[in-house]
A and B are shown apart, each in its own frame.
Chain A
């Protein structure tokens, strides 16, 4: 049995992954483009928290709202400056995907320059850092576990109320399901897209703000985490927001726990194979149920299983 520490670590990681995956899915549902820059959106949050901490010595948890806003602005600008003009020109999905790759590279470059400036300003390097030494305990649990769980709960509560209890939510869901029809009914699809990209960046940046409590931020962080984000979104179903939540936990838990189990059997050398688990999940999902868990018609599956069971009897 894995110890408490491994379990809490896995849970924290899953919380952050779910946040990132929800953002990716939101952007995919509204604009039909898988955003390869989602990892870089997260890094925006990490650097927001670092800047506030280094300059004013303010606990990174306090920076969560600021990270939300900063990430949201980056997400919104990405849509308005990069994707919207291309979509207007009737660009194909592949073109849009290449554009997000370019966006990722630009953000990587900006990150490098910003880290250089911040390092010069504060007199200590900002290429690699962690916040673990700043963490404290709440009711005997690490604060990062409590706070990341809280962030997920609040995010989904707000998202649910927004989507199902408000008029704006109805318009939003309509334009996600059928943009052309929604437009005819007087819904401004443009607003829903802008909203989705703002939220996508904002949620990613919140996850990025909390990430240094769990693992070290390095220049390649965005590249390292993107595989897991895609795995979480795909296993849940790229077309479903709640799928992203489920996918985040499946990928986060199995990435941590399967590698932990492998390392107890085959030795510590297996710990580096964590991402292989995420990759395996992507591949198995695409082969078995390309629409993801949310896309599977569970009633039909249950019926089939029942029939098979009846035949065997």
Chain B
């Protein structure tokens, strides 16, 4: 029981860390209020469920019959899964190929996503990003031609050669490995001149402009990278459930993949990756413990309802409390210490101390 809980915490820690780190680059470093973060996760799921499965259908020559996309993908996924049972390399190739495709498409979607609003002020920007994400989610929900709408599509099991416990362990291992790579990637990227421009842009756009940088270009690039990375979680999500269903994104999409990442970032501390990692761990642990005990919680409180509604209220209130009492998060953002600044700090230490007094 406890073993299962810990494994779940690790799994969702990895999934959420990838999305939160990418949002942290966009919002924590760059100050772009991406209220449409869920879109990039959806893109990853669409690539796994709608694009890769179609490619496989073409390869295997599976035609769409009366059952539509839903049936056709389940036929091709079953076939692929049987192959993978005897041929583990094929499974890993499938995973890597899907991830690369999702990263590429995610980057394109992210860049296009911000185009109409790249010049706007932050409130208009947030509204537009949210509106685009909600609209795309709705189209995926209503139009069965994309990912099978309500009926959903099946995705092949790339770990079909493993069974039971070993399979879950391997999956969690892969998710954590990708999350670690994502962390290292963002740590490096934010220590480049580009990362520093990003932080400067959050503080004062005019200053960045004065130094000859195009705000629009920086925003487009940031959203491309952020969406590409978040699409990874969309792919992993599909391979975990082996199904992609648009209705799971319909109500919960914005909550799970926009609101919760924002909560994580503000809890841990915007603008620094260590804080976000801590925030992810705390958030996911709370969420999984609620999930673990949810039947008990509902019966103790004598509620005729699902625990998910309580979870929404709890996390909503938690967000408000953080915004009010600790808007800088558990680990606040620190100034960038490049070598010259470090030197200046050290030589002027007495002066700085005096100013602080």
Contact = CB atoms under 8 A, between A and B. Distances in A.
B120 A290 contact: yes
A109 B309 contact: yes
Given A34-B123, A93-B122, A279 B313 contact: no
Interface in B143-196: 143
Interface in B103-143: 116-117, 120, 122-124, 126-128, 130-132, 134-135, 138-139, 142-143
B139 to A, nearest CB: 7
Given A98-B319, A116-B303, A223 B124 contact: no
Contacts of B123: 32-34, 93, 97
Contacts of B143: 269, 272
A60 B305 CA distance: 25
Nearest to B315: A105
Nearest to B141: A272
Nearest to B137: A223
Given A113-B305, A116-B309, A279-B132, A230 B127 contact: yes
B334 to A, nearest CB: 20
Given A94-B126, A105-B316, A276-B139, A89 B134 contact: no
B316 A106 contact: yes
A156 B131 CA distance: 28
Contacts of B139: 272-273, 275-276
Contact of B128 (A97, A104, A117, A286): A286
B304 A109 contact: no
Interface string B209-240: 00000000000000000000000000000000
A111 B124 CA distance: 28
Contact of B313 (A106, A231, A290): A106
Size range of the chain A interface in the assembly: 35 or more
B131 A282 contact: yes
B292 interface: no
Interface string B297-324: 0000001111011111101110110011
A94 B312 contact: no
A65 interface: no
A219 B250 CA distance: 10
A86 B251 CA distance: 27
Contact of B135 (A117, A219, A227): A227
Contacts of A278: 131, 135
Given A286-B120, A290-B124, A112 B308 contact: yes
Nearest to A280: B135
B312 A106 contact: yes
Contact of B127 (A34, A98, A104): A34
B121 to A, nearest CB: 8
B88 interface: no
Nearest to B255: A105
A98 B134 contact: no
Contacts of A264: none
B54 interface: no
A272 B316 contact: no
9 contacts: A33-B123, A98-B33, A102-B316, A106-B313, A109-B310, A112-B306, A278-B131, A282-B127, A282-B128
A98 to B, nearest CB: 6
B243 interface: no
B251 A98 contact: no
Given A98-B262, A287-B116, 18 more contacts: A97-B33, A101-B259, A102-B259, A102-B316, A102-B317, A105-B312, A106-B312, A109-B309, A110-B309, A110-B313, A113-B313, A116-B306, A220-B251, A226-B130, A227-B131, A272-B139, A276-B135, A286-B117
Interface of A: 32-34, 36, 82, 85-86, 89, 91, 93-95, 97-99, 101-106, 108-113, 115-117, 119-120, 219-220, 223-224, 226-227, 230-231, 234, 269, 272-273, 275-276, 278-279, 282-283, 286-287, 290
A230 B303 CA distance: 35
B138 A224 contact: yes
Contact of A286 (B116, B122, B258): B116
Nearest to A222: B251
A220 B132 CA distance: 16
A34 B126 contact: yes
A223 B38 CA distance: 13
B332 interface: no
A91 B327 contact: yes
A188 B117 CA distance: 36
A36 B126 CA distance: 10
B10 interface: no
Contacts of A85: 324
Contacts of B199: none
Contacts of B142: 272
Given A106-B313, A112-B306, A279 B324 contact: no
B131 A230 contact: yes
A93 to B, nearest CB: 5
Contacts of A119: 304
A221 to B, nearest CB: 10
B126 A275 contact: no
B131 A231 contact: yes
Contacts of A113: 303, 305, 309-310, 313
Contacts of A287: 116
Interface string B316-357: 110110011001000000000000000000000000000000
